[in-house]
Amino acid sequence: MSTTQSPTGGPSVPATASSITPRKRTFSQWFGDTGWRHLIGVAFSIYCIFPILFVISNAFNPNGTLTGSSQLFQAFGLEGFDRVLNNPDRPFWAWFGNTMIIGGTVAIGTVFLGALAAYSFSRMRFRGRRLGLITILLVQMFPQLLAVIAIYLLLSSIGDVFPALGLNTQLGLIMVYMGGALGVNTYLMYGFFNTIPTSIDEAARIDGAGHARIFFTMILRLVFPILIVVGLLSFIAITNDYAIASVVLTDPETKTLAVGLFDIVSNDRTADWGAFSAGALIAALPVLIIFMALQKYIIGGLTAGSVK
Amino acid sequence: MNNIRPETDETTPESKKSAQLRRMADKVSPNIGPLITKIILLGLFDALGVYALFLTVEAENWLFFGVIAVIILAFNWVYLRPGARPSKYLAPGFVFLLIFQVFVVGYSGYIGFTNFGGGHSVDKDQAISSLLASGQERVEGSPSYPLAVVSSGGTLGFLVVEDGKTLYGNADNPLEVVTDAVVEDGVPVSRPGFDTLKKAQIFADQDAVTNLVVPFSDDPNDGSIRTQDGQTGYRYVSALVYDEAADTITDSRTGVVYSDGGRGSFVSPDGEELKPGWTVTVGFDNFVKAFTDESIRGPLLEVTIWTFVLAVVSVFSTFFLGLFLAIVFNKPHMRGRKIYRTMLIVPYAFPAFLSALIWSGMLNRSYGFVNQVLLFGADIPWLTDPILSKFSVIGVNLWLGFPYMFLVTMGALQSIPAELEEAATVDGAKPWQIFRLIKLPLLLVSVAPLLIASFAFNFNNFNLIKMLTDGGPKIDIPGNVSNIGHTDILISMVYKIAFDGQTRDYGLASVLTILIFIIVTIITVISFKRTKALEEIN
Amino acid sequence: MKTNIRHLMAAGAVTLTASMVLAGCATSSSSDSTEDSSSATTLTVWVDSDRLDALKAAASEYSKDSGVEVKLVDKSIESMKADFAREAPTGKGPDIIMGAHDWIGQYVTDGIISPIELGDKAADFSSVAIDAVTYNGQVYQVPYAIENVAIMRNTAIAPATTPATWDEMIAAGKAAGKKYPFVVTQNGADGDPYHLYPLQASFGSSIFGLDANGQYDPKNLTIGNEQGQAFASWLGTQGTVINADISGDVAKQAFIDGEAPFWLTGPWSVKAAQDAGIKVAIDPVPSAGGQEATPFAGVKGFFVNAKSKNSVAANDFLVNFIATEKVQTLLFEKGGVLPAMTAAADKASSDETIAGFQAAAKNAIPMPSIPAMSNVWTPWGQAEASILAGADPTSTWTTLASDIQKAIDASK
């Protein structure tokens, strides 16, 4: 390994000048430096959380309708959670598992395929490079929602030959999502790869490392934050998708959370918003937990610390 | 980006030297580890591929066979070639891209040339059999016949009871009275020399049973016995008769002959169509319809303009809010920073369609939280006024969209070397100058493509419109039968035309989809020309 | 040269690995190929979640008797209709689907459901149910339940009975002194014509005329006639009572919070109200235009997939099992809906709410199932909503009729 790499253990390695501030400050100094940020933070936190309060209020309301009332927290009860978690015809935990498997696989796959592509676009010069970049972005702009018929027919005929990849299978849906692996996310990574100096590659090459080794052992480590961001973004995108998932997955035990939960409320007359809200709250947790757990990577100064 | 040097051929003295060094290094310590990994992975891939080939042969699906064979060969060719080649890094992603994006686009294009959709969704055989089934008329006044399905020497026949008499017949021989059959409680059970099919056997051989037609007598006007459940038979005459040689269907009640009109249905000389029809290609019909149908053409201009406005405004509003917040919280050692950041991505973590629904409830004119509580009982038509509803859509989309931009710009800000800022600060630059002259341009380089992508996303932001306003309020022009509304964007308009309420017309939908795609393509290409300029400046 | 040799060796190694893996696959896959042989007949049935429980008991009984496994799949009623239309043509999809009778027109046009021979059993069903499931002279559905709207009354705050005319009911509702005199599900600018139809019918207005066979005739659009106009101008005076902003959620919440004495709704709402501890009674819809306020009858029943590989079993299940009094009664007991079979319905009417809905539907007519109806619903609701919001009734209604006519002509 070259000398340019610093230890990657601790998240707060770079101690910049700004962090060594004197302990005693006047209020206006504090406000000018960080206080106003808190003000904005609180204001926007309220802005973000507010609509969700409706969901929380409704999840704990035994007979609530989601939008039927503008009063929050009128009643309290856990019936909503009971209805969504303990209904054998609507296996919530199976949906949850499916979502994690599909979302996780696609997120990892997207990161991997996207990173491979981003590396070649960033580090190699070849004919059709620019065209390739534009093409992958363009193709993604096709409104897939309106192409569900084509997707359905394609998976239907794939399923006739390979039942494990057809309709109603998680692998089938994963493959469809992987079709979007090269796309916007590749761009995100491409931009990030570009900020890593090629001198690092050069140095490694002089040390005798092959291209694959440089990529897998060095570059991937340096771009780790963006891999996390892309992984999270695609995980969220996948867990939010309704249109395609609902066409591909039709059996109750194969559904994802988005499809399963939406079905609970899709009939106006019998919509069970309490159960739905409770389920949606639980469904939103993984993303928040993942975000909090990986925050230091997403924000962390890995690159800032190592790239000089 | 001038700091990236072409890796391969350009021979500056320096890289020549390093290439020499590399070759030397390769000789000294051959990298056997990666090679083995490669061989194992490729071997696994090939094994899987060949196994898939066997399956396609079994299914006699030669198209899939060809596609898979090409993929296998291409992969082996790509990965067995030595050296650093872009194809090695692009191939896996591109295979998925080609099959599940490019092919799907192409396939949609193909559907655009067919009449696939309501009334034309099955193949011709299925259409004919459905027509014939719907033409089975029960002979008036005929009873129901308790029935047993029996077989003798491989020939299936019916044993039925009528007026206490037992009759037997099969496809070639009309019903005849038999005396040796066993009948219990008026239900035929068996006959010597015949095997009575049990329920499970009937289920297993159902096509033979349901297709068995036993003439009631020598006179065809008496009809024939058929059964749907293997237990009760009914006497039918066929009102519709298919003539295979002439490819026509004749209505025996009226004598009208319906022939294949080449448009995917049987048509009478008067132009009356029999439904169901079947799927055929119809050339440019759907394109013509897309450009001449008034319910599409009428509101098209307003919808197109609004689509662009929404997309552009959404991109910039979410980007600048996200960027602003990213900068605000890009402060090391600020207390509570993690919490704020988590709060800020809550809107993004929550299922978007749910949020849009909640907002539509909150913005309800008479009962919504915004009017009732925040504005003390105001009566503002947030979602029902043609102009205000557009602002509401943009506002809600800001809430939905800024966390993404926040995340992205937060990552991108980190990739800007801290020394740049330090150096500039030392030089006496003000924070705003640093931001505007250093950070923003660098940031734009890495996120400009994402802005374009965000544009495309919002251009096609179906969920937002569907859940928040469903396109409403309706544009008030006569003939607006598809209910195109003031907040409809192109994709929701197409969805309304193609899938909502009206008969489903996948062909027309595909044509409109392709048109949308072309519009977005043009925009993107133009924008890219600009970012190219941007890229070269830096 | 050297690279070439290495290259070749690599290719050889890949081939070797591949064949080893393949050999492994082949041995393992041959061992589990015997699984298929024990396949008994399995009927796949799509059911919406509200009927699932009721059907489960019946299905397991059928499985016991016949040895046919019945696999019930919980589907959302909203997506079911389109999903089936998409899946059936490819030969996928379930053997049986449970749905509303007004899907028949589209499904027959698509050629994806088979006629069902009820034979003499047709006489056991109520005539409105058989009318509803008959299309072009063929029965396409085995009816199971009949649904219609009526007035649900909160007995704690409303008078002892619902008055017979609209104005009296509204007056009584106002006298109750609650937030709303009356609620009905509307959907903002999209309205909800299904719920308002009884009021329209009380003016003698209809959508389509009937042809010689007593079936709706798409060539005879009657919505714009004099009676329709009378209803429209009456509707124009009701903007303060019927608020189009009242969504299903708002209406439901208002009723279960005891803020509205009357709720124009269907049997699907009974449970929610009772769960909230409200005692309800069901009365016929009062007349607004002088004639009887007859609601649309919606029939729920079972279709058979035209490409079903188990059509004999499917017909056996439906005709010889579902269409029996025993099972219809069982379904009622588990599901609490008005059975379509007369004998079972008579038994069910010992239940007061069921009897109430039955009485309200005494002269109900089936909701039109002809494909042309798909051109009617949305513009119809929107016209009603804009009239309620203050648009000119006469011109709005005239535009509505001509728009529908245009759409029907265009979709031919």
**Distance, C-alpha B382 to centroid of its chain:** 32
Write the DSSP assignment of A171-221 as a string of letters.
Answer: HHHHHHHHTTSSSHHHHHHHHHHHTS-HHHHHHHHHTT--HHHIIIIIIHH
The residues near B268 (Cβ < 8 Å, ≥ 6 apart) are B256, B257, B258, B274
Chain A residue numbers with beta carbons less than 8 Å from the beta carbon of B105 are 139, 142, 147
Exposed/middle/buried for residue C412 (C-beta within 10 Å: 0-12, 13-18, 19+): exposed
All residues of chain A having their beta carbon less than 8 Å from the beta carbon of residue B347 are: 48, 51-52
Facing C92 at nearest CB: one of A156, A268, A273: A156
* Beta carbons of C378 and B232 less than 8 Å apart: no
d(CA C330, CA B165): 36
Report whether pLDDT(B342) > 90: no
Handedness of CA B368, B370, B376, B380 (dihedral sign): negative
User: Quick check: B96 and A113 CB within 8 A?
Assistant: yes
Query: Can you list the alpha helix ranges (DSSP code H) found in B363-498?
Result: 369, 388-414, 418-426, 431-433, 440-459, 462-468, 490-498
Of the candidates A276, A240, A234, the one whose C-alpha atom is nearest the C-alpha of residue B464 is: A240
pLDDT exceeds 60 at position B143:
yes
Interface test with C, best of B39, B45, B278, B475 (most C CBs within 10 A): B39
The pLDDT value recorded for residue C387 is: 93
- Closest CB to C249 among A66, A156, A167: A66
Position B102, amino acid: V
**Cis peptide, bond prior to residue B473, ω within 30 of zero:** yes
Task: Give the integer Cα–Cα distance in Å for C33 and B88.
Answer: 37
Q: What is the pLDDT of residue B11?
A: 41
Phi-psi sector, B6: left (phi>0), alpha (psi -120 to 50), beta: beta
| Cβ atoms of C115 and C308 closer than 8 Å | no
- Tell me: the pLDDT tens digits for A110-148? 999 999 998 998 888 888 888 888 777 777 777 777 788
- Amino acid B347: pLDDT: 87
Q: B residues 324-383 near A, CB within 8 Å? A: 325, 328-329, 331-355, 357-362, 364, 367-369, 372-373
Nearest-CA distance C113 → chain B (Å): 8
Helix H, strand E, coil C: the string for A80-126 is HHHHHHCCCCCCHHHHHHHHHHHHHHHHHHHHHHHHHHHHHHHHCCC
Residue contact B22–A208, C-beta within 8 A? yes
Residue B18 has pLDDT above 70, yes or no: no
Q: Which residue has the tokens 């949305």?
A: C378
Residue B232 to residue B162: CA distance in whole angstroms:
12
Residue among B46, B51, B479 minimizing CB distance to C403: B479
Distance CA B41, CA A89 (A): 41
C window 277-306, beta carbon within 8 A of B: 306
Task: Provide the pLDDT for residue A1.
Answer: 35
- The CA-based diameter of chain B, rounded to the nearest angstrom, is 115
d(CA B170, CA B213): 7
Task: Average the pLDDT over B101-115 and give the result.
Answer: 89
Rounded to the nearest angstrom, the minimum Cα separation between B209 and chain A is: 26
Of the given ranges (A62-76, B174-188, B238-252, C25-39), which has the lowest mean pLDDT? C25-39
Q: Which of B63-72, B194-203, B445-454, C326-335 has the weakest average pLDDT?
A: B445-454
| Segment among B109-118, B283-292, B469-478, C145-154 with least mean pLDDT | B469-478
pLDDT at residue C5, rounded to an integer:
63
Of C66, C120, C404, the CB nearest to B199: C66
In this structure, of B6-15, B18-27, B484-493, C343-352, the range with the lowest mean pLDDT score is B6-15
C375 to chain B, any CB pair closer than 8 A? The answer is yes
Q: Subunits touching A (CB < 8 Å, at least 3 pairs)?
A: B, C
How many cross-chain Cβ pairs, A to B, lie less than 8 Å apart? Answer: 357
Nearest to B384 among C115, C188, C311 (CB): C188
Q: Which residues of C touch A149 (CB under 8 A)?
A: 86
Q: Are C73 and C45 in contact (CB under 8 A)?
A: yes
d(CA B439, CA B428): 16
Mean pLDDT of B256-275: 88
pLDDT exceeds 70 at position B8: no
pTM: 0.83
Contact B328 A51 (CB under 8 A): no
Whether A9 shows a pLDDT value over 50: the answer reads: no
Residues of A in contact with C83 (CB under 8 A): 247, 250
User: CB of C316 within 8 Å of any CB in chain B?
Assistant: yes
Q: Could A292 and B338 be called an inter-chain contact, meaning their C-beta atoms sit closer than 8 Å? A: yes
pLDDT at residue number B65: 92
Of C86, C148, C264, which to mutate for an interface test with A (greatest number of A Cβ within 10 Å)?
C86
- The reply to whether residue B86 touches residue A261, judged by beta carbons under 8 angstroms, is no
Chain C residue numbers touching A152 (CB-CB < 8 A)? 86, 90
Packing angle of the helix pair A170-178, A92-123 (nearest 10 deg):
30
Whether C49 and C74 have beta carbons less than 8 Å apart is answered as yes
User: Which of the two residues, A198 and B396, has the higher pLDDT score?
Assistant: B396
pLDDT at A69: 66
Q: Is C127 in the B-facing interface, judged by CB distances under 8 Å?
A: no
- Interchain pair B47, C17: CB under 8 A: yes
Using CB atoms, pick whichever of B82, B206, B472 lies closest to residue C312.
Answer: B206
CA angle A128, A131, A133 (to 5 degrees): 110
Q: Strand, coil or helix: what is B76?
A: helix
pLDDT value at position B444? 79
Which residue in the block uniquely carries the two structure tokens 């081939």? C15
Tell me whether residues B351 and A239 touch, CB distance under 8 A: yes
Distances (CA, A) of C35 to C39, C40, C80: 8, 12, 31
| A172 reaches C (C-beta below 8 A) | no
> Is any Cβ of chain B less than 8 angstroms from the Cβ of C63?
no
- pLDDT greater than 80 at residue A171: yes
Q: Is A143's CB within 8 Å of B4's CB?
A: no
Mean pLDDT of the A284-303 span: 71
Facing residue for A268 by CB, picked from C86, C248, C257 = C248
Compare CB distances from C89 to B81, B121, B503 and report the shortest one's residue. B121
With an 8 Å Cβ cutoff, are B18 and A206 in contact? yes
> Is residue A188 classed exposed, middle or buried when 0-12, 13-18 and 19+ CB atoms within 10 A define those classes?
buried
Query: How confident is the model at residue C26, as a pLDDT?
Result: 54
Which candidate from A51, A179, A184 shows the least CB-CB separation from B355? Answer: A51
Assess C123–B contact: CB distance below 8 Å, yes or no: no
CA distance, residue B483 to nearest chain C CA (Å)? 7
Q: How far does Cα A127 stand from its chain's mean position?
A: 32
- For residue B372, the chain A residue with the least C-alpha distance is A70
pLDDT confidence of residue A93: 92
Between chains, do A269 and C78 touch, taking CB under 8 Å as contact?
no
In the block, residue with structure tokens 């190219």: B532
Q: Closest partner residue to C79 among A68, A156, A266, by Cβ?
A: A266
Chains with at least 3 CB pairs less than 8 angstroms from chain B: A, C
Report ipTM for this prediction. Answer: 0.80
Count CB pairs under 8 A between chains B and C: 201
In chain A, the residue whose alpha carbon lies closest to the alpha carbon of C276 is A63
Nearest residue, CB atoms, A65 vs list C77, C86, C253: C253
Position B297 pLDDT exceeds 90: no
What distance in Å separates the CA atoms of residue B400 and residue B322, rounded to the nearest whole number?
11
Residue that has been written with the tokens 């008579």 in this structure: C346
Supply the pLDDT for residue A14: 40
Most B CBs within 10 A among C19, C110, C113, C318, hence the mutation to make, goes to C110
Instruction: Kindly report the nearest CA distance between residue C167 and chain A, in angstroms.
Output: 26
| Cβ-proximal residues to B503 (8 Å cutoff; 6+ apart), any chain | B117, B118, B119, C106, C109, C371, C374, C411
Surface-to-core class of residue B498, CB atoms within 10 Å of its CB (0-12 exposed, 13-18 middle, 19+ buried): buried
A–C CB contacts, 8 A cutoff, strictly below: 77
Per-residue pLDDT band at A15 (split at 50, 70, 90): very low
Dump the DSSP string for A155-181: HHHHHHH-GGGSTT-HHHHHHHHHTTS
On whether any CB of chain C is under 8 Å from the CB of A198, the answer is no
Where does C154-298 have alpha helices with state H? 166-175, 193-201, 226-235, 248-256, 270-275
Task: Provide the pairing of β-strand C296-304 with C142-147.
Answer: antiparallel
Query: At B17, is the pLDDT very low, low, confident or very high (cuts 50, 70, 90)?
Result: low
Whether residue B524 and residue A303 make contact (CB cut-off 8 A), yes or no, is no
Residue B253 near residue B134, CB atoms below 8 Å? no
| Low-confidence residues of chain C: pLDDT under 50 | 1-2, 29-38
